[in-house]
Structure 1
Amino acid sequence: MTRIKNSGLGSSPFQRLFHSEEISHKWANLSDSVSADGKLSKELKENVRRVLAYGNGCTYCQAKGTPLMPEDTKESYAIAFAEVFLIQREKTEEKFFHVLRRYSLMKRSRNYWPSFALQLPSNISGL
């Protein structure tokens, strides 16, 4: 079995795999760029990341925190989609993307639930 010796760089076990300061800095910049506020808030992205970390069983990613309860409808939809994706992966049906697209065009409101509520296939449970 091939093993990578830890470098003196970084503060986490993953970061210590980098043996180049240039790569370490570029990795940190990528992480900062991806997680920054944009069309989706960094809090929403972080919570989806946490759901995916636990669903994928990545102990490194899980160490960064457990999923939180959604704060609003937009976050609820994003987390529900992440959970559907964890079950269906590349077989995720277009109708789930359609729900997200339609919702993104609607007014944002804490108590708003659209009439086209997400219809899950009968073989998906636990969502």
Structure 2
Amino acid sequence: MTTIEFSENGNSPFEKLIGHNPEILKNWGCLEETLFKSSGLDPDLLEQVRRTLAFGNGCEYCMVKSGKADFKASDLKISVAASFAELFCKDHRSILKEHFTMLREFFSEKEISELCTFISFINASQKLGKIFNLTEEYQENAVIKMEQLTI
């Protein structure tokens, strides 16, 4: 059971939880679509970052959607992005200028801006999912069960 009741607005369980204010739902959805569809970052990189954050934030709804991050360690750009996302999730206050120096080895300033914006948005979404108790049974697109995941 979620911590608040679903609204009548929205298509997914997550949308129904934030849909109590239709204007927030609309703009949240617009930002999400922009981040996923208008980014200069590779869609697989974004997905691997999303998956990494899901486990850091403990959002079951997001964890079972696609499982754990799945990329080759040799793909340094994704590895760096996922590591940065994990650090952001654990303690964003510990991020230093040196972390941005490392990001600049793989990303342009525009890409760093997009990556940090994406991480912030996904982090907020997943934390909402967690506090609203949006568990795996609400995920219609699950590819894995929580019991199959080693966390």
* Runs of 5+ unmatched residues, structure 2: 109-151
Counterpart of 1:15, as a letter, is E
Counterpart of 1:101, as a letter, is R
Between the aligned partners of 2:70 and 2:87, the Cα distance in structure 1 is: 17
- Indicate conservation of the 8 Å contact 1:35/1:46, yes or no: no
Counterpart of 1:39, as a letter, is G
Task: From the CA coordinates, give the structure whose radius of gyration is larger.
Answer: 1
Match of 1:124 in 2: none
- Give the TM-score normalised by structure 2: 0.56
Percent identity at matched positions?
37
- Give the TM-score normalised by structure 1: 0.64
Between the aligned partners of 2:104 and 2:43, the Cα distance in structure 1 is: 19
Greater fraction of residues in helix = 2
Match of 1:75 in 2: 78
Match of 1:104 in 2: 107
* Runs of 5+ unmatched residues, structure 1: 106-127
Between the aligned partners of 2:91 and 2:24, the Cα distance in structure 1 is: 33
How many residue pairs get matched?
103
Counterpart of 1:93, as a letter, is L
Greater RCO between the two (CA within 8 Å, min separation 6)?
Answer: 2
Q: Which of 91, 94, 98 is the matching residue for 2:94?
A: 91
